[in-house]
Amino acid sequence: MSLLIINIKSLLQVRENTPGFLSGDEMKTLPSIENAFLKIENDTITNYGKMEDLSDTNADEIIDAKGKFVLPAWVDSHTHIVYAGNREQEFVDRINGLSYEEIFERGGGILNSAKKLQETPEEELYKQSKKRLDNVVRMGTGAIEIKSGYGLTTDAELKMLRVIKRLKADYPGMIKSTFLGAHAFPLEYRENHQGYIDLLCNEMIPAIAEENLADFVDAFLETGYFSVEETERVMQAGKKYGLKAKIHVNQFTAIDGIESCVKNDALSVDHLEIVTDADIEVLKGSKTMPVALPTCSFFITIPYTPARKIIDAGLPLAIASDYNPGTTPSGNMNLVVATACIKLRMTPEEAINAATINGAYAMDLLSTHGSITKGKKANVMITEKLNSFYEIPYNFGDMLIEQVIINGKRI
């Protein structure tokens, strides 16, 4: 099966070779080809170039993209889309004055979702999650990381991870799964942290590794959740089984968590609404990708990640949706890109780099996703007719993506 897209007004994010992640000033440019073609064979990008250089017009299908932009599909490196039910009451409670932390203290928040998930059969959980996944794919997400962490018992965590495994089989190549058993201490372990960490490290992680259910390990490193030492035990137990760490950190407070993540070779540190100068220093020269989640800040009214401080210090930055029932019930990456521009003061070029190449790095998918590169997966989006790609974030809340192609297939 071959597909040829012709007359593309501008083909964005074209990289002959992927340079690794993009940091600092490298994020300012988005290499493009005007009046371009793109050739796809089966699930792979096989050629691209200027229309005047197109010699072989043989293809099973030809799409005329006159006036339209083509760019790689979004890479959403941080989500929790497998969950049961919603938390719309907490949404209203926050409007009426309660904070996210106060709701958690009352037994709501993550524990509320855990209770719902424990009571939901696997098949129903799969159905609810697949609906969300289909929805975000339609909006241009071509690769997605999905976390567990609403189970908090061995059985319920395994149930979540098996749902992710089924989704992986249904959406080949585009999903990575992360074990987030260390999301919150279950009530029965509130006074016995050691007991829960033992359960995570000695029972859950080995069982998950045995069934090959996770690619990464995560923890909520935060005041009132998991301490630096507790998170280190989880990262180290994961490492024993080949699971790289991607850690929730610095959402509300800075407690030297980033330093510990860098020391433990974390692939990414996510949230970073609070960032100190010391945090910036430890990230410099490391292989750990900072990840901002701007629509989370928008939804629960907390500070926005200081993207300018991070990028202007010469660091890389990825952006992701954090799609989850508590802090971000949306996986719309177009809105994430717009919010990054509007609230994090990232330029459209920086935001698109953050949501494609740098997102791919944060999922360990840089060799296959995140840019228009020969040999990479044919995961691309075609916009409607636009004057400039700046209109994508400018028209925030709108869907200017007309056609999504995943693994060479139209969605």
From the annotation, which residues make up the binding site for Zn(2+)? 78, 80, 248, 322
For every residue of 56-114, DSSP letters joined together read ----SEEEE-BTEEEEEPEEE-------SS--HHHHHHHHTT--HHHHHHTT-THHHHH
Listed in sequence order, the DSSP H helices in 139-204 are 154-170, 193-198
Check residue 322 for interaction with Fe ion (CB under 5 A). yes
Check residue 109 for interaction with ligand NIG (CB under 6 A). yes
Q: How many CA within 13 A on the CB side of residue 302?
A: 23
- Binding residue for ligand NIG (CB under 6 A) from 322, 349, 350, 364? 322
Closest CA to 112 of 217, 61, 187, 180: 187
Give which of Fe ion, ligand NIG, none residue 186 binds (C-beta under 5 to 8 Å, depending on kind): none
Q: Which residue is nearest to Fe ion (CB)?
A: 322
Looking at the DSSP assignment, which residues form a beta bridge with residue 248?
220, 270
- Binding residue for ligand NIG (CB under 6 A) from 290, 325, 359, 393? 325
Q: Which stretch binds ligand NIG (CB under 6 A): 5-13, 305-313, 325-333, 365-373?
A: 325-333
| Residue number with CB closer to Fe ion (76 or 322) | 322
* DSSP H or E run through 205: helix 205-210
CB of 288 to ligand NIG, least distance (A): 17
Q: Which stretch binds Fe ion (CB under 5 A): 183-191, 210-218, 304-312, 318-326?
A: 318-326
Strands, E assignment, 183-320: 216-221, 244-249, 268-271, 289-292, 318-319
- Binding residue for ligand NIG (CB under 6 A) from 110, 139, 208, 365? 110
Check residue 222 for interaction with Fe ion (CB under 5 A). no
The one-letter amino acid code at 88 reads E
Check residue 220 for interaction with ligand NIG (CB under 6 A). yes
CB of 188 to ligand NIG, least distance (A): 19
Looking at the DSSP assignment, which residues form a beta bridge with residue 123?
none
| Residue number with CB closer to Fe ion (12 or 114) | 114
Q: Could you say which residues in the range 221-280 bind ligand NIG, by CB under 6 A?
A: 248, 251
CB of 236 to ligand NIG, least distance (A): 21
Give which of Fe ion, ligand NIG, none residue 296 binds (C-beta under 5 to 8 Å, depending on kind): ligand NIG
Residue 197 backbone zone (phi > 0: left; psi -120 to 50: alpha; other: beta): alpha
CB of 325 to ligand NIG, least distance (A): 6
Check residue 113 for interaction with ligand NIG (CB under 6 A). yes
Contact track, ligand NIG, 283-312, x by CB under 6 A: -------------x----------------
CB of 232 to Fe ion, least distance (A): 19
Q: Tell me the C-alpha distance between 37 and 54, whole Å.
A: 7
Q: Tell me the C-alpha distance between 196 and 230, whole Å.
A: 10
Site for ligand NIG, rule CB under 6 A: 109-110, 113, 220, 248, 251, 296, 322, 324-327
